[in-house]
Chain A
Amino acid sequence: MDEAPTPQPGDARAAALRRASLVKRWVAGGAVALTGIFSAVAAHALPASHSKHRTGAAASSSPAAVTPDLGDEGSAPQQSITPPAAVPQASSAASGVVSGGS
């Protein structure tokens, strides 16, 4: 009757290395998949106004360019409200138009 071969230290080491390699592949694959999933979720959840540039090959549900890119408050404050070329003058006219709330 033959005896079962006694495992050699080299065989055990090779098997352990194969298992470690397998685990590494699963971890790497899982990380790639999770990164993709999280990216898709984030892209869907966050407003596109955060991005200033997009590719020209955007899908029909995506904008080719997103505005307004008007800067933040404080960076160019109140540029749009400017004084008139001539300030109003006192008038004693008896007729004219009326400006009031509406």
Chain B
Amino acid sequence: MRGEATWRALGTTAQVVVTVEEELDAARSLVERELTAIDLACSRFRADSELARVNSSPGQWVPVGDLFMEALRTGIEAARATAGDVDPTVGRALRVAGYDTDFAELPALRRGRLRFAPAPGWKLVQMDDVRRAVRVPRGVEIDLGATAKALAADRAARACAAELDGGVLVNLGGDIAVAGAAPDGGWPVRVTDDHEAGFGAPGQTVSIASGGLATSSVTARRWRTRRAGELHHILDPASGRPASGFWRTVSVAAASCVAANVASTAAIVRGAAALSWLDGLNVPARLVGADGVVARVGNWPEEAVA
């Protein structure tokens, strides 16, 4: 008998599903513990987070904990793997484009002067592994929104599998990690534009048995501005502007949730070139164009016949 719990966390929806119902409470506790830790380490909107301390101390070595080091290294690895299409130094670009507070608190219409500022680049970030400290130059602000949530999902799923019986699925706002023994037939996942849509929303249902699955979409986290029209949160680090929207929504399955999320986000930024890039990586992906036309690569399955 499966057990499932859903609640709000990190400004999105957190969900844990276990194959052994008796393990649900323990699984939720493990996930909550991971979310609390990642929020305290990596939130851009908490003044007491380690990320906020790093961003507010340009030019200085700031001592940080193991989790922040891991999260930052994950963000930097994402930048390297995508040639900078997913870059942790996009923090200032997001802030000056208007995404400067917790998304739930953003006004319906952003007034005032907004700008588009290219990300200065991940190679400017310095990490001292021995002293566990981080330094960024003046003008560089880190944002780990593209990877921290997926990292939390991976870590939480691994922790559950290590300590509990059965299999587990952790879903943080559509970033999904699974670990342990999957149920017969795998974990059913509906991929669609919005993670808060119901299971019946337009999209496709697939089942996964290992690793992670993530979806990025330009239809989510949008805000209106007086001069620049409507913006969304997936910025092209090269320009600081929202990605073009050649793809409306991209879903990727990979060996981990982090890898899936990095690939799906980079695909949105890359636009048309994403098809050959994902194909070269051999990761299964489903890409929905702005016109709704679906493309599949890497053995992503066709729609199931009802």
Contacts and interface: CB of A to CB of B under 8 A. Distances in A.
Interface of A: 47-49, 61, 63-68, 70-71, 73, 77-102
Interface in B1-59: 12-13, 15, 17
A98 B198 contact: yes
A54 B125 CA distance: 17
B220 A102 contact: yes
Given A100-B174, A100-B191, A100-B197, A81 B123 contact: no
22 contacts: A47-B124, A61-B61, A68-B76, A73-B83, A80-B77, A80-B81, A81-B283, A82-B281, A83-B281, A84-B212, A90-B302, A91-B186, A91-B189, A91-B205, A92-B305, A96-B199, A98-B192, A99-B214, A99-B215, A100-B217, A100-B249, A102-B220
Contact-size category for B: 35 or more
A42 B262 CA distance: 36
B263 interface: yes
Interface string B67-101: 00000010011101111100000000000000000
A39 B85 CA distance: 35
A98 B129 CA distance: 37
Contacts of B114: none
Most buried by A among B133, B283, B305: B283
B228 to A, nearest CB: 20
The 4 closest A-B pairs by CB, nearest first: A101-B217, A96-B188, A102-B173, A101-B220
Nearest to A97: B171
A99 B149 CA distance: 13
A91 B303 CA distance: 8
B271 interface: no
